[in-house]
Amino acid sequence: DHVEARGPSYRWNLDDFEIGAPLGRGKFGRVYLAREKTTHYMVALKTLYKVELMKGRVEKQVMREIEIQTHLRHPHILQLLTYFHDHKRIYLVLEFAARGELYKELKRQPNERFNEHLSAKYTYQVADALEYCHRNNVIHRDIKPENLLLTYEGNVKLADFGWSVHAPSSKRNTLCGTLDYLPPEMVSGETYDIFVDHWCLGILCYEFLVGKPPFLSDSQQETYVKIKAANIQWPEQITPGAKDLISRLIKRKSWERISMAAVKKHFWIVKYKDLH
């Protein structure tokens, strides 16, 4: 019997999926491995509790995340395949990234840091995804290891557009979580643009190579001071090529940060991204 193709207007629902093991906890609910019944296609089913969203006053943010992520199509961006809701929950049907969370992979490495090949490969793939986002006038704003997933083949998928906005923006949402990735213009509450992602890519590349972000401090105040000064300590394992790239991204003046195209062509990236 042929499976009638489900047209674009088909209304997906929970009965279309077999729910498997929990993959972990997202911000507003759990994430499950699931399988679409007719095709056996594996997906990640992210559940968001409506009551939690209302309590956190993040409904608009979630709708913005859904709006943005449904329109982005790129090999290094985790695809939101579809979504639906019942009276209690919103369900996001997302691509399943078989190798899981990159930050856990980072912690598993000897000395909790990636070698130059993996650091250059992952930095390149995130730059590729960001170049595409920016071409679509989307700022991610929350680039960090926790928001990156790995496919079975070991490639990056940029996920969690919960903080993304359309450029330029002066949204002053109370940022939660780490300040380590905040660029100076966001620390001082100015309006900002796509170049916040360039700063974060520099912080990310540094954390891949060193195992912790450059401005990590005991207190928020100290982190702010280090960010504003943008003075970085370079451990001995950072090679001149990596230092050159990171220094061109972690610039206090946002317009001086090199473009994503320039990152992709940088001699250190080109030299190490395909080496195994």
Ligand X SMILES: CC(C)NC(=O)[C@H]1CCC[C@H]1Nc1nc(Nc2ccc(C(=O)N(C)C3CCN(C)CC3)cc2)ncc1C(F)(F)F
Catalytic positions are 142
In whole angstroms, the minimum distance from the beta carbon of 142 to ligand X comes to 9
Subset of residues 146 to 165 that bind ligand X, contact rule: CB under 6 A: 146-147, 149, 159-160
Query: If phi over 0 gives left and psi between -120 and 50 gives alpha, with beta otherwise, what is residue 158?
Result: beta
If binding means CB under 6 A, how many residues of this protein chain bind ligand X?
Answer: 19
- Smaller CB separation from ligand X, 92 or 258: 92
- Smaller CB separation from ligand X, 27 or 271: 27
Q: Cis peptide leading into 168, omega within 30 of 0? A: yes
Among 72, 78, 156, 250, binds ligand X (CB under 6 A): 78
- Smaller CB separation from ligand X, 25 or 57: 25
Instruction: Give the range of 105-113, 127-135, 144-152, 219-227 binding ligand X by CB under 6 A.
Output: 144-152
Whose tokens are 């929970």? That residue is: 14
- Interaction of residue 69 with ligand X, rule CB under 6 A: no
* CA-wise closest residue to 69 among 169, 204, 172, 163: 163
Are the C-beta atoms of residues 148 and 102 closer than 8 Å to each other? yes
Among 44, 90, 129, 260, binds ligand X (CB under 6 A): 44
- Smaller CB separation from ligand X, 16 or 160: 160
Give the integer Cα–Cα distance in Å for 4 and 25. Answer: 34
In the chain, the amino acid numbered 43 is: V
- Interaction of residue 56 with ligand X, rule CB under 6 A: no
Burial class (CB within 10 angstroms; exposed 0-12, middle 13-18, buried 19+) of 217: middle
Helix (H) or strand (E) holding 255, with range, is none
* CA-wise closest residue to 207 among 86, 109, 132: 109
Binding site for ligand X (CB under 6 A): 23-26, 31, 44, 46, 78, 94, 96-98, 100-101, 146-147, 149, 159-160
